[in-house]
Structure 1
Amino acid sequence: MSVIKVIEVMANSTESWEDAAQTAVTHAAQTLKNIRSIYVKELTAVVQEDRITEYRITGKISFELLGSGGPQS
């Protein structure tokens, strides 16, 4: 049996919400191993002069703890 931990993160992008989600995963992967998924909980944006200038996400990243019975135990 494996153990999954979930952390909540926030990330932003000037390109898109998808890019903001990828930024969150890429940044988290610098210190976490075995990332399994991201659940995007909230989408927001910054608007300036009637244009979206920044996309923001709040998401939950789940990852398997090492030694918890998964493939790397």
Structure 2
Amino acid sequence: MTAVKIVKVLGTSEESWQDAAEEAFRQANKTIDDISGIEIEDWTANVENDEIVEYHATAEVAFPVHDGEV
């Protein structure tokens, strides 16, 4: 049986929500080994002068717990 750890990561982009989600994954992948999946929990954005200026994607990143980890 494998235990899985889940952490939340916020990705941001000036381009799109998809780019924000991909940024969350890219940043998490720098420090987390063996990512097995991500779930986008929330999509939000900052608005200024009637325009979206920054997209946010909150992602839950799942990865296996290896021996010796908590």
Bin the TM-score by the shorter chain. 0.7 to 0.9
- Residue in structure 1 matched with residue 10 of structure 2 by the alignment: 10
* Unaligned ranges ≥5, structure 2: none
Task: Tell me if 1:56 matches 2:56.
Answer: yes
Output the CA distance in 1 between the equivalents of 2:18 and 2:65: 26
Residue identity (%) = 36
Task: Report the TM-score, using the length of structure 1 for normalisation.
Answer: 0.82
Deviation at 1:56, TM superposition (A): 0.5
Deviation at 1:48, TM superposition (A): 1.2
Higher helix share: 2
CA contact (8 A) 1:7 1:62 kept: yes
Task: Tell me if 1:23 matches 2:23.
Answer: yes
Report the count of equivalent residues: 68
**SS of equivalent residue, structure 2 residue 63:** strand
Deviation at 1:65, TM superposition (A): 2.4
CA contact (8 A) 1:10 1:57 kept: yes
Output the CA distance in 1 between the equivalents of 2:32 and 2:42: 22
Deviation at 1:66, TM superposition (A): 3.1
